[in-house]
A and B are shown apart, each in its own frame.
Chain A
Amino acid sequence: KNEVEQSPQNLTAQEGEFITINCSYSVGISALHWLQQHPGGGIVSLFMLSSGKKKHGRLIATINIQEKHSSLHITASHPRDSAVYICAGRKTSGSRLTFGEGTQLTVNP
């Protein structure tokens, strides 16, 4: 079992829809990153959270420590949101990240 698991693998939505991407992680991970990778390859760090909820524009990330689960929500989705979204867990010991497989999001106009 992977230490960080994402779902779904692929997600297609219509512009304007509310989108949720889920991430479950195992014991030993103390913080979670949400990353966005566009087709050109560059990676943008969206959020880093270890508890609670963070919001930036149309993006919201939540984490439930007890359930070891995090979600990334996109409100009023737009075609420019189309990208691969990756959750990555940072272990309590050390600084390396463990990456999920990524979710390919396609938002159609």
Chain B
Amino acid sequence: GAVVSQHPSWVICKSGTSVKIECRSLDFQATTMFWYRQFPKQSLMLMATSNEGSKATYEQGVEKDKFLINHASLTLSTLTVTSAHPEDSSFYICSARSGGTGAGETQYFGPGTRLLVL
């Protein structure tokens, strides 16, 4: 199946710093990428949806100035957590979907990035 990679796989940073997480689709062109956040023992929570070349659509309650998303190419999307605080510590997962709106389009998930803000 298709492969989605994330980098870094884990990161520890000091409060107040910014952290960038990359999501790449390795063998297909992802017109749509999704960023999720997951707290321990909870389900994935969609943060935002990004389409290549356009602004991301953020879910209610997600601060767009705090979580900057860039989807500059069909194979790369980045999530930057600006001025990170301990409450931003979480597991961030991206997923990617190729073009088309048919029921046959599968979403492929990245391995996740574990962020710990001290």
CA–CA, A68 to B111, complex, Å? 30
User: Nearest Cβ distance between residue A35 and chain B, in whole angstroms?
Assistant: 7
> Which of B11-19, B66-74, B80-88, B101-109 interfaces with chain A?
B101-109
A33, B49: Cα distance in complex, Å: 18
Assembly CA distance A35 to B107 (angstroms): 10
B43–A86 CB distance below 8 A: yes
Interface string of B34-54 (1 = CB under 8 A from A): 100010000110100100000
Please give, as numbers and ranges, the residues of chain A lying within 8 Å of B49 by CB-CB distance: 95-96
In the complex the two chains form, is B44's CB within 8 Å of A99's CB?
yes
**A interface residue count range (under 10 / 10 to 19 / 20 to 34 / 35 or more):** 20 to 34
**1/0 contact trace for A39-70 toward B, CB 8 Å?**
01111110010100000000000000000000
Nearest CB in chain B: distance from A52 CB, A: 12
Which residues from A are CB-within-8-Å of B32?
95
Most buried by B among A30, A40, A45, A50: A45
Interface residue SS majority, chain A: strand
**Residues in A whose Cβ lies below 8 Å from that of B1:** 45
Q: Is the CB–CB distance between A45 and B107 below 8 Å?
A: yes
Known contacts A31-B103, A33-B107; A95/B114 CB under 8 A:
no
Give 14 pairs: A residue, B residue, CB < 8 Å, sorted on A.
A33-B106, A41-B38, A41-B93, A41-B112, A42-B110, A42-B111, A44-B109, A45-B106, A45-B107, A45-B109, A86-B43, A96-B49, A99-B44, A100-B43
**Beyond A43-B112, A97-B34, A100-B43: 7 further Cβ-contacts under 8 Å?**
A41-B38, A43-B95, A45-B106, A95-B32, A95-B105, A96-B46, A97-B46
